[in-house]
Amino acid sequence: MKELFGPLTKEKIRELRCGQEIAYTGILYTARDQAHKRLTEMLEQKKALPFPLKNQLLYYCGPTPAAPGKVIGACGPTTSGRMDEFTPALLAEGLLGAIGKGERSAEVIKAFMRYQSVYFVTYAGCGALLAQHVKKKRLVCFNDLGAEAVFALEVERFPLITAIDTKGGNIYD
């Protein structure tokens, strides 16, 4: 398993290969459907985003509330295809990668290649296990969305699999 540490760079991302298992330590920003919609609307309106996309990873996740004494509740991935209509615009802003589950559209695969970004998957149905890798959680924006708000997660050895690399290698092919 390859250790990958944030902050990320294009150089680090270009080294990753399809199917490669990763243990990521750094920051992830959670974002689901409604957060993606708002972020792309802000970009279309030329408004400043509430957090930087450049060199960041988005995790398609809506974490559940934390139990007493815990940092976070379950935080498993959601289906990535629902974010496909928004993904190219976010990659164009410098996003280096996304984390979710499932296949991506042909247009999004081309966008990952064009912008030299990567798509990771993580283990579905293992939200409680994944939560053990989250060391800190901070609300970033869109609090009115509840679990779908954007949170910054500080993670340690968060398990990922490189699903689509910068050359278009795809585990679903």
Tokens 């243990």 correspond to: 23
What Rg value do the Cα atoms of the chain yield, rounded? 15
Q: What SS3 class is residue 128?
A: helix
Active site residue 36: yes
Q: What SS3 class is residue 143?
A: helix
Contacts with 15 (C-beta within 8 Å, 6 or more apart), sequence order = none
Among the listed residues 32, 36, 101, 133, the single catalytic one is 36
What residues does 118 pair with on adjacent strands? Answer: 97
Q: Give catalytic residue positions.
A: 36
